[in-house]
């Protein structure tokens, strides 16, 4: 961390007397319960301190990602227009079939999220995944920020530091409306937030729905299984749907309901706008990072974009037999990975929640070899290990203050495929940071400046 944030963390921790920490923990749990800030049955946050960025930290992150986001956009343009290049991403048959219904004038993603590790004291920022299909957490992050402003330690901290949060639901709303108008919408849209009724993120969907309503959008939560397509419109009971803010995954939607479902029929006929679009799935594939990382594709990018790729994308390759390059040398990929498992992680090309991820440095030789064999059968990528961040966070545990290290990531949001704003910070005692995987939690992200 920078000296600014180091000093701020020490000051915040020093504020936490046992009495104040116990009071803050009670208040935090009370507010989380009142506002239903839970992932399933787990509270979203159990620590008593936000994550701090200095203005310099945020500017470095923001500036560094501008060219990287441009490079991802180029991958989308190249692959949607050229089946040969699109094959690199290993799309499913339904994805190939449905991307033709995208409208070129509409950004394929209204919102997306870069999942990263940011070592602030080294200015090292690495993107390990691009959540370009259904980025979660915006509503949770906004509401957690509001909760922390009510905690006494945070109020006392503000006496010494200026604080600024980046609530992003406004940016999400604006991006959705802009995309709807670009699609051809002629009226203020009625919105359905579409996901299975049993998902643990339903509480966040309700936060988002209420925000849409405050902004003048009529909005409902809708299970895909309850939708009807009739009379040239998509309906949730008696509610006409003009726009779908899609939170259900395409893969799960089609696996459950088939490709000829009401949503698909309405989309094909141009009678509903859906975001993020089916072609956004191309960048959600882990192979999109391999496309960026592979020097054979360098000619698609400008010098500035190549510099951003080199700085922020770890070495990534599609897992397959054959030769490739690593650190400027030609290697035979599979034997090389077998001999160097401690340097690499295996990831399914299209999955989420940490499912199927194998960390080579935590795997046995036999386990890694078996994972590699599986990766040759089902699309996977391999990615070079990046430096992760561990920082101390305080919590009230067993009647006393416990300050323990947690792994921390940095997940900035991108709106309209261009504007980086807002950031979700996840903590975990495990090196695999993922709330869905069961080991993590979320904390608010706060920009700070010392008062003069």
User: Which of 214, 128, 179 is closest to 409 using CA atoms?
Assistant: 128
User: Which of 288, 291, 314 is closest to 132 using CA atoms?
Assistant: 288
State the pLDDT at residue 392: 95
Cβ pair 169, 424 in contact under 8 A: no
State the pLDDT at residue 39: 85
Q: Which two tokens stand for residue 144?
A: 């957690």
State the pLDDT at residue 41: 83
pLDDT digits (tens, 9 = 90+) for 117-129: 999 989 999 999 9
Predicted TM-score of the model (pTM)? 0.93
State the pLDDT at residue 436: 47
pLDDT digits (tens, 9 = 90+) for 91-147: 999 999 999 888 888 889 999 999 999 999 899 999 999 999 999 999 999 999 999
Round to whole Å and give the CA distance between 128 and 288.
Answer: 11
Strand order, beta sheet including 219-222: 219-222, 191-194, 243-246, 273-275
Which domains are seen in the chain, by residue range?
3-284+389-450 (3.40.50.1760), 315-384 (3.30.1490)
Q: For residue 276, is the peptide bond before it cis, meaning its omega torsion is within 30 degrees of 0?
A: yes
Neighbours of 293 (CB within 10 A): 21
State the pLDDT at residue 186: 85
Q: Which residues of the chain have pLDDT under 70?
A: 1-2, 431-439
Distances (CA, A) of 321 to 287, 324, 334, 356, 373: 16, 10, 6, 20, 11
Distances (CA, A) of 196 to 140, 168, 244, 248: 18, 24, 14, 7
Please count the residues of the chain.
452
Round to whole Å and give the CA distance between 332 and 326.
Answer: 10
State the pLDDT at residue 315: 98
């Amino acid at each position: 961390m920078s000296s600014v944030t180091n000093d701020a963390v020490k000051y915040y921790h020093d504020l936490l007397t046992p009495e104040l920490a116990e009071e803050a923990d009670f208040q935090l749990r009370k507010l989380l319960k009142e506002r239903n800030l839970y992932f399933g049955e787990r509270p979203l946050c159990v620590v008593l301190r936000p994550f701090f960025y200095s203005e310099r930290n945020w500017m470095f992150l923001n500036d560094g990602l501008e060219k990287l986001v441009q490079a991802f956009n180029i991958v989308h343009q190249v692959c949607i227009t050229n089946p040969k290049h699109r094959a690199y991403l290993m799309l499913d048959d339904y994805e190939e079939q449905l991307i033709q219904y995208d409208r070129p004038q509409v950004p394929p993603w209204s919102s997306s999220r870069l999942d990263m590790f940011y070592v602030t004291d080294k200015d090292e920022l690495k993107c390990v995944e691009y959540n370009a299909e259904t980025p979660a957490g915006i509503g949770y992050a906004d509401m957690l920020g509001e909760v922390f402003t009510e905690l006494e330690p945070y109020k006392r901290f503000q006496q010494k530091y200026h604080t600024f949060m980046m609530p992003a639901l406004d940016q999400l709303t604006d991006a959705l409306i802009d995309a709807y108008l670009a699609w051809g919408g002629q009226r203020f849209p009625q919105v359905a937030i579409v996901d299975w009724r049993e998902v643990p993120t339903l509480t966040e969907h309700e936060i988002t729905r209420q925000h849409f309503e405050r902004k003048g959008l009529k909005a409902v939560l809708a299970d895909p299984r309850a939708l009807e397509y009739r009379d040239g419109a998509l309906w949730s009971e008696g509610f006409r749907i003009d726009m779908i803010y899609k939170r259900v995954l395409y893969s799960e939607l089609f696996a459950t309901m088939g490709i000829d479902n009401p949503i698909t029929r309405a989309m094909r006929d141009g009678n509903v706008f859906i975001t993020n679009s089916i072609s956004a799935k191309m960048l959600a594939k882990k192979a999109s990072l391999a496309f960026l990382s592979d020097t054979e594709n360098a000619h698609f990018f400008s010098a500035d974009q190549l510099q951003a790729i080199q700085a922020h994308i770890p070495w990534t390759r599609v897992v397959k037999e054959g030769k490739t390059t690593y650190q400027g040398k030609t290697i035979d990929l599979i034997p090389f990975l077998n001999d160097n498992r401690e340097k690499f992680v295996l990831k399914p090309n299209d999955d989420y929640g940490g499912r199927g991820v194998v960390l080579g440095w935590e795997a046995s030789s036999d386990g890694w070899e078996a994972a590699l064999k599986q990766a040759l059968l089902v699309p996977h990528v391999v990615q070079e290990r990046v430096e992760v961040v561990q920082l101390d966070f305080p919590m009230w545990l067993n009647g006393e203050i416990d300050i323990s290290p947690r792994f921390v990531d940095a997940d900035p949001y991108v709106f309209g495929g261009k504007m980086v704003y807002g950031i979700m910070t996840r903590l975990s005692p495990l090196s695999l940071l993922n709330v869905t995987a069961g080991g993590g939690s979320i904390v608010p992200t706060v920009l700070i400046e010392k008062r003069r």
